[in-house]
């Protein structure tokens, strides 16, 4: 009976290589996740990265992770078609075991910019999302899945996201990446028990777990601190504490991926702390009683020639992006944007969305 494999998200930077090399040397990195969207900027990819991807791919230990497909964007555009073509090219180059993307839609129409925003969890967005994930599945020779999103405007959505993702992946027999730090952010920001949120997910569909650190930002007022999934710090102790229980609950989980951005190793101790967190994860998996219960993933699908467009949802998405970009503070958003029942939205989360929008979209 095999245990889940522990790996890392590979970053093409010198500092990342320095930090991770001792783990590669000791053979402890059992699987690699690669954010293949980075390939759109080939000049930034050093030769050692290609060699690592080939080696792990040849050993069926390479996972592909997308960022910019914008799976819940209500209007199909050439940007998404181009993204699929680039993914196809990457799957011909590297042997991925599976491909995943993020829940939500991108805040920018520009390719490779923006950040994922949540959507109303209703039938209209479900229809769009199913169309997009089927198109994704139809273009790759391996199972596909979705990662839960950290950001939410209101508490109701964090309780419902798991079931909604389950509906999205069902038509392709897809999987969920359960990102524990994303759920940690939600638990902290809305004052909810983290295990309550985790147990709200269809855990039989979890094939992969993500774990990382993050940081705190001011909310709408300086008294409120908002947790963000910035992948730039140490893993919170709470996530180490709950991981044994989560592993037992997710009986089909095959991979645990430790994430840290390649440009966040700025202090000599950062590499030491990175390896220390990785080794803690390795110890937890070794000591866990959980073994992987095999499950079949993926399904061949055929898609219609014309993608689904929902112009009403599209207009609302466009307006949300424009409103966030133009807003001076959260009151502007509440005043301008009422299509999605903003009465229960958190001013602090709107404040963060405005800040992110100005950071990534300008």
Instruction: Tell whether residue 268 is a contact of other proteins (CB under 8 A).
Output: yes
**Which residues in the 271-300 window bind other proteins by CB under 8 A?**
271-272, 275
Which range of residues in 50-58, 205-213, 242-250, 300-308 is near other proteins by CB under 8 A? 50-58
- Pairing of β 144-147 and β 98-102: parallel
Instruction: Tell whether residue 45 is a contact of other proteins (CB under 8 A).
Output: no
Which range of residues in 46-54, 70-78, 137-145, 330-338 is near other proteins by CB under 8 A? 46-54
Full DSSP string of 52-86 = HHHHHHHTT-EEEE-SSS-TT-SS--HHHHHHHHH
Which range of residues in 118-126, 153-161, 270-278, 301-309 is near other proteins by CB under 8 A? 270-278
Burial category of 123 from C-beta neighbours within 10 Å (exposed 0-12, middle 13-18, buried 19 and up):
exposed
Contact with other proteins (CB under 8 A) among 21, 45, 238, 326: 21
What is the closest distance, in whole angstroms, from the C-beta atom of residue 14 to other proteins in the complex? 4
- Cβ nearer to other proteins, comparing 30 with 73: 30
CA-to-CA separations, 62 to 34, 82, 94, 142, 169, in angstroms, rounded: 7, 23, 8, 12, 21
**Token pair of 173 as six digits:** 């027999």
Burial category of 183 from C-beta neighbours within 10 Å (exposed 0-12, middle 13-18, buried 19 and up):
buried
Q: Residues 134, 303: contact at Cβ < 8 Å?
A: yes
Measure the CA–CA gap between 46 and 39, rounded to whole angstroms: 11
Identify the sign of the CA torsion 347, 353, 356, 358: negative
Instruction: Tell whether residue 25 is a contact of other proteins (CB under 8 A).
Output: yes
Instruction: Tell whether residue 306 is a contact of other proteins (CB under 8 A).
Output: no
Q: Residues 202, 163: contact at Cβ < 8 Å?
A: yes
Contact with other proteins (CB under 8 A) among 2, 42, 47, 92: 47
Query: Could you give the dihedral angle defined by the CA atoms of residues 266, 272, 274 and 280, in that order, rounded to the nearest 10 degrees?
Result: -160
Contact with other proteins (CB under 8 A) among 48, 88, 89, 283: 48
Instruction: Tell whether residue 81 is a contact of other proteins (CB under 8 A).
Output: no
Give the other-Cβ count within 10 Å of 196's Cβ.
11
Phi, psi of 210 (to 5 degrees): -110, 145
Instruction: Tell whether residue 31 is a contact of other proteins (CB under 8 A).
Output: yes
- Cβ nearer to other proteins, comparing 48 with 216: 48
**Which residues in the 55-74 window bind other proteins by CB under 8 A?**
55-56, 59, 61
What is the closest distance, in whole angstroms, from the C-beta atom of residue 37 to other proteins in the complex? 22
Q: Residues 319, 337: contact at Cβ < 8 Å?
A: yes
Instruction: Tell whether residue 257 is a contact of other proteins (CB under 8 A).
Output: no
What is the closest distance, in whole angstroms, from the C-beta atom of residue 263 to other proteins in the complex? 14
Q: What does the per-residue mask of binding to other proteins show for 115-144, with x meaning CB under 8 A?
A: ------------------------------
**Which residues in the 181-220 window bind other proteins by CB under 8 A?**
none
Judged by the rule CB under 8 A, the positions of this chain that interact with other proteins are: 14, 17-19, 21-22, 24-25, 27, 29-31, 46-48, 51-52, 55-56, 59, 61, 268-269, 271-272, 275
């Amino acid at each position: 009976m095999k245990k889940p494999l522990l790996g890392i998200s590979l970053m093409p930077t010198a500092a990342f290589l320095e930090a991770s090399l001792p783990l590669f040397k000791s053979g402890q990195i059992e699987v690699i996740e690669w954010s293949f969207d980075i390939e759109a900027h080939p000049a930034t990819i050093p030769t050692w990265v290609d060699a690592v991807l080939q080696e792990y791919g040849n050993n069926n230990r390479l996972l592909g992770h997308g960022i910019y497909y914008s799976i819940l964007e209500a209007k199909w555009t050439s940007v998404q078609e181009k993204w699929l073509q680039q993914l196809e090219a990457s799957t011909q180059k590297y042997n991925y075991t599976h491909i995943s993307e993020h829940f939500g839609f991108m805040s920018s129409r520009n390719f490779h910019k923006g950040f994922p925003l949540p959507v109303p969890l209703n039938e209209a967005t479900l229809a769009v999302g199913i169309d997009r994930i089927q198109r994704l599945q139809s273009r790759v020779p391996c199972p596909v899945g979705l990662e839960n999103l950290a950001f939410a405007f209101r508490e109701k959505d964090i309780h419902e996201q798991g079931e909604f993702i389950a509906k999205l992946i069902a038509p392709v027999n897809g999987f969920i990446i359960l990102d524990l730090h994303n759920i940690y952010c939600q638990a902290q920001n809305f004052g909810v028990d983290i295990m309550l949120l985790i147990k709200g997910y269809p855990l039989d569909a979890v094939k992969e777990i993500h774990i990382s650190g993050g940081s705190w930002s001011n909310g709408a007022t300086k008294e409120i601190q908002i947790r963000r999934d910035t992948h730039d710090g140490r893993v919170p102790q709470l996530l180490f504490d709950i991981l044994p229980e989560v592993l037992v609950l997710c009986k089909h989980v095959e991979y645990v991926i430790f994430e840290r951005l390649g440009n966040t190793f700025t202090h000599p101790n950062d590499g030491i702390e990175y390896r220390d967190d990785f080794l803690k994860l390795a110890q937890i998996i070794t000591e866990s009683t959980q073994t992987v219960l095999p499950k079949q993933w993926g399904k061949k699908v055929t898609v219609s020639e014309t993608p689904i467009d929902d112009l009403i949802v599209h207009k609302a998405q466009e307006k949300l992006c424009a409103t966030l970009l133009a807003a001076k503070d959260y009151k502007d958003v509440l005043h301008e944007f009422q299509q999605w029942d903003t009465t229960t939205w958190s001013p602090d989360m709107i404040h963060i969305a405005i800040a992110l929008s100005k950071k990534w979209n300008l």
